[in-house]
Chains A and B, each alone.
Chain A
Amino acid sequence: MSVLQVHNAVKNFGSLRAVDHVSFSLDQGDNLAIIGESGCGKTTLAKMMMGLVKIDKGLIKAESFSVQMVFQDPYSSLDPLWNVREILKEALWRNRSLSAGQAQEKMEQMLSAVGLSMGVLQRFPHEFSGGERQRIAIARALLCSPKILILDEATSALDTLVQKQIMDLLKKLKQEFNLTYIFISHNLRLVRNFSDKIAVMYQGKIVEEGQAKKVLQSPSHPYTRQLLQASFYINFK
């Protein structure tokens, strides 16, 4: 069952074509990785899927509010003046009719799902480490009960050990909430262990798409090969 369809989506910033006729579709439970260098249009594409950036041409079809996003920088994705309770409560905005008790129950469930204790509710974002903050951001995104979760470089700002913990958490949550992931990254190593499908973006276009194993083992586009070489060069040196 298709949960998201992107059809020939185009976005221009002045004379720059940030996203150039991108098409793909996602089924429930898919785990797609979009990789590419900085400035290739990954984040713009993500924002288009979220409805934060208007599409110039083409079509993006998804159920409204079914897409949520976890941002790259957990330091700026949480309002520094709000405590965790307020932050999580905001995610229940469309469920304002919930009683205080029900809301509290939902927040507590979600916190335990991401591995945080109830005690964090009273605390402010600056009191947490980067990994904890990212857990809060994930909890907030999931409280909106999305079908699709976009992870925009969601682990890039974290050190490797915390990175692994968050990746494991995301795998667990995918099962638990039957989610579809779009994992945006430039880190091939993470993608290899995490995603089933890979789409490679280069200068606004998707230049290669397919099963993760196939793309990584026998890349067909020269840019993908270059990317793999660079990555392996770093890995084995």
Chain B
Amino acid sequence: MKKRTYPNSRTRTGVDSFRSNRLAMLCLWGLVIFYGLAICADFISPYSYKDEDRNFSYCPPTTIEFGDHGKPVYPFVYGRTLTFDTMHRRVYVIDKTKKYLLRFLKNGRLFGVDVPGRLYLWGADARGRDLFSRIWYGARISLSIGLLGVAISFMLGLLIGGISGYFGGWVDGVLMRICEMFMMIPGFYLMLALRAAVPENFNSVQVYLSVVVILAFIGWASLARIIRGMTLSLRERDFVLAAKTMGVPDIVIIFKHILPQTISYSMATLMLTVSSYILAEAGLSVVGLGIQDPVPSWGNLLSEAMEIVPVIFAPWILLPGLFIFIAVMCFNVVGDALRDAFDPMFRNDAAG
């Protein structure tokens, strides 16, 4: 009584071993939730990412009230008025005379309050934009940029590693020297140099795509080297020799016999690379070279926290950092667990 069929028993052992790793499953679900919320950013966030109100600069998080003088009532928020203290600092005083009821499913958004009330679940930034909304819009950029970058690196790495290992000889020599050139340059400087080569008049979509390409450029070389090593041993396997004698062209052998054998290993490496790309994008954006305001990414949201004064008076602007931390940690844990689950299989495989 088989419920599901896997290509082979080792795949099944790998999947089972991954599933029994509770921390990894938790992190996997964490990632699923992150991506889910990022996709639904338009719906779950009360404001658009560019919806600003300068009267609420650095407004602290709003609390949603569920009771009035001890009696439970329909949830609402109090209004706030901006005053200045003796040091000319902004102080937001809660104005108990104004109440704004929480509205659900209005204007195509899950929740919000009526104007002129403002709902800042996680506080506001310098221009009075809602950090909660901007974090989920930013998640779209930050979480997708890593995946897209990795997809390109992955294709380049597999193709070049596969060709290099399979053909060997001077092809291998040339391709591997190119890889080494990329690996030689420190990643961050390579990124800055490539970013400098991007025209300044790009719009946000073009900047996004160029960041993807830049990220892909820094990571493909190490994957290509690993795949090349595996291919070197795989090309001597009998089923590859058999395919050759049957007249199957080399490129077909690479794609259908050799690369599929490396997939389980490279999937694990992939997850680890995604997290390094998320960090790289954040690094680029923090120094102002990545995604440009008003479009948010976790990196450029964090760039507001580069000065000490705003951090002291509005510590919630550090929140995007927490999200970067969680996402990177989840990817790393899942990647490590995948490697643990599938790598022994690969080693068995190579020995047999």
Closest residue of chain B to A137 (Cβ to Cβ) is: B242
Asked if B239 and A91 make an inter-chain contact with CB atoms under 8 angstroms apart, the answer reads no
| Cβ < 8 Å to A, chain B residues 1-31 | 7-10
- Judged by a CB distance under 8 angstroms, whether A31 is at the interface is no
Instruction: Write out, one digit per residue, whether chain A residues 35-73 have a CB within 8 A of any chain B CB (1) or not (0).
Output: 000000000000100111000000000000101110111
Contact call B246/A90, Cβ cutoff below 8 A = yes
Given the known inter-chain contacts A124-B7, A124-B8, A126-B8, please indicate yes or no for A78 contacting B239, CB distance below 8 A.
yes
- CB distance B349 to A80 under 8 Å? yes
A105 touches B (CB below 8 Å): no
Instruction: Encode B234-260 as 1/0 by CB contact (under 8 A) with A.
Output: 000111011111111000000001001
- In the complex, the answer to whether A77 meets B239 with C-beta atoms within 8 Å is yes
Chain B residues whose C-beta falls within 8 Å of the C-beta of A76 in the assembled complex:
237-239, 352
A140 part of interface (Cβ distance < 8 Å): yes
Cβ–Cβ contact A79 & B8, under 8 A: no
Chain B residue numbers with a CB within 8 Å of A125 are: 8
Q: Which residues of B contact A (CB under 8 A)?
A: 7-10, 237-239, 241-248, 257, 260-261, 349, 352
Q: In the bound complex, what is the Cα–Cα distance between A94 and B260 (angstroms)?
A: 23
Known interface pairs A69-B245, A71-B241; A81-B9 also in contact (CB < 8 Å): no
Contact mask for chain A residues 115-149; partner B; CB cutoff 8 A; 1 contact, 0 none: 00000000011100000000001001100100000
Bound Cα distance from A164 to B184, whole angstroms? 58
1/0 per residue, CB under 8 A from B, across A72-99: the answer is 1101111111000000001101100000
Pick the residue among A51, A65, A91, A126 that contacts B9 (CB under 8 A). A126
Residues in chain B near residue A47, CB distance under 8 A? 241
Closest to A70 in B: B242
A94 & B239 in contact (Cβ 8 Å cutoff): no
Nearest A residue to B238 via CB reads A77
Residues B243 and A90 in contact, CB atoms below 8 Å apart: yes
Knowing A76-B352, A80-B8 are in contact, say whether A140-B247 is a contact too (CB < 8 A).
no
Q: Are B247 and A94 neighbours in the complex by a CB distance under 8 Å?
A: yes
Q: How far is the CB of B1 from chain A (nearest CB, A)?
A: 16
Q: Are A52 and B238 in contact (CB under 8 A)?
A: no
3 residue pairs, one from A and one from B, having the closest CB atoms? A77-B238, A71-B238, A79-B239
Give chain A interface residues in 161-220, CB to chain B under 8 Å: none
**Complex alpha-carbon distance, A33 and B174, angstroms:** 43
A81 & B8 in contact (Cβ 8 Å cutoff): yes
Taking a contact as CB atoms under 8 Å apart, the answer to whether B242 and A81 are in contact is no
